[in-house]
Each structure stands twice: as structure tokens, then as C-alpha cells.
Amino acid sequence: MKFAVIVFPGSNCDVDMYHAIADELGEEAEYVWHDAENLDRFDAILLPGGFSYGDYLRSGAIARFSNVMKAVQKAAEEGKPILGVCNGFQILLEAGLLPGAMRRNNSLKFICRPVSLRVENNETMFTSAYKQGEVITIPIAHGEGNYYCDEQTLKRLIENRQIVFRYHGENPNGSLEDIAGIMNEKGNVLGMMPHPERAVDPLLGSADGLRLFQSIVKYWRETHVVTA
């Protein structure tokens, strides 16, 4: 399986994402610069964290106009797995690939530490390796992770089981309904503020994030016929 790791000016978690895929997961990964116009040769698309374009205007507001986002939109329409982490989540929101918006943390401070997440839906291409309701440890690192949406959108998210992860115990940023990660209605685009790529080995304090990437590979292998 081949993963594209999209690199924007200001991305700083692209190397972490590449390491998670190539070294821990054992799959093929390739950096793709933000001006690329075609992602057809990739099986999954990863938008890493960081500070794309310096987070000017709003986090992700400029990156969503990058050439590569047209190709990301096309991949989403084709049903390919797309994961946006932290700034990648913010970009997906700005691009309209996921509903809602991101506000500054309630504390108005940057937060960087491990948090507990509860798996709200393990029947997705991103979470099949988890148990329903399982509590996992994944680190966060953001200043604008306070997810918000209107009442109608929240109702749809709940009814369609699009809320994939919630903060368990403490809500570190004030996010609505403790939301830490959501997916689109089609189920192939996931955005989350915590960093699973930073939790892929016990040496990092947790290996709980690795199972998210393993779930993607499992889904891909079950839906694609691989010939020698």
C-alpha cells in the first residue's frame, strides 16, 4: 500500500508521519509537495500537522487553496482513505471536506502532552483495530483545537456516527461534546487533533496510534485484490 504524505510550507510533522508508515507500519510512503496536481498513484493520503503558511488568517485557511487540495478532493470523491492530523484536520475543515470549524483553545495557550481518547466508532476504515469504547493514549500539540459546529451539524454527526474519537476525562481545549476526531458521511475522510503518528512505539510513551494505520491497511487489503 502506498501513502502520500502531503508537505505544505510550515509542515513539521511530515517526518513523524513518514516514520510511522515506512518504519513502524512497514508500508510505502512518499513526501508530496503542496504544488502537486495528481495523487492517482497513491492508495491513501495523509495531511500532517504543523503550521502551514504560518497559520496566517486561520489555521489551514491558506493551505486549502494549494494545488494539491484539488487532488485531495478528487481522492476523497473516489473513496480513498484520507487522514488529516492537527493542522491537517484544520485544512480539511477549511477545504469543506469535513464539517465545522476550529477555534482557539479555551486556555488561549498551546497545549502539548498525552491525552486519553475514547473510541466512539470502531466500525470505520480507520478504527477497526480498536474496541468500541476503548480508551487510548495519544499526544496532542495545538493552540487551535477547540472544535465547533452548529446544532444541526452536531445532530448529523451523532446520528451518522461520524464522531470517531472523544476526549476521555479531561477536555484539554474546550472542544464541543469533547470531540477529538470526526469523519465525513462517506466514512473515508478522518480529521483528528491528537497525533497518532507520535504514538506508534512504546518508546514514545504509547503505541496506540499504530493501530489506526494498521486499520487503514487492513481495510485496503480487504477491498483490493493484490496480484503478484
**Catalytic residue positions, numbered:** 86, 195, 197
How does 146-164 read in b/e, with b if 16+ C-beta sit within 10 Å?
A: bbbbeeebbeebeeeebbb
Element (H, E) at 57: none
**Strands, DSSP E only, in 51-153?**
82-85, 101-103, 111-119, 135-142, 146-148
User: Residue 18 belongs to what H/E stretch?
Assistant: helix 14-19
Handedness of CA 107, 114, 145, 179 (dihedral sign): negative
Q: Is 64 left (phi over 0), alpha (psi -120 to 50) or beta?
A: alpha
What does residue 89 show for φ and ψ, rounded to 5 degrees?
Answer: -65, -45
E strand spans, 15-145? 28-33, 44-47, 82-85, 101-103, 111-119, 135-142
Cβ atoms 127, 119 nearer than 8 A = yes
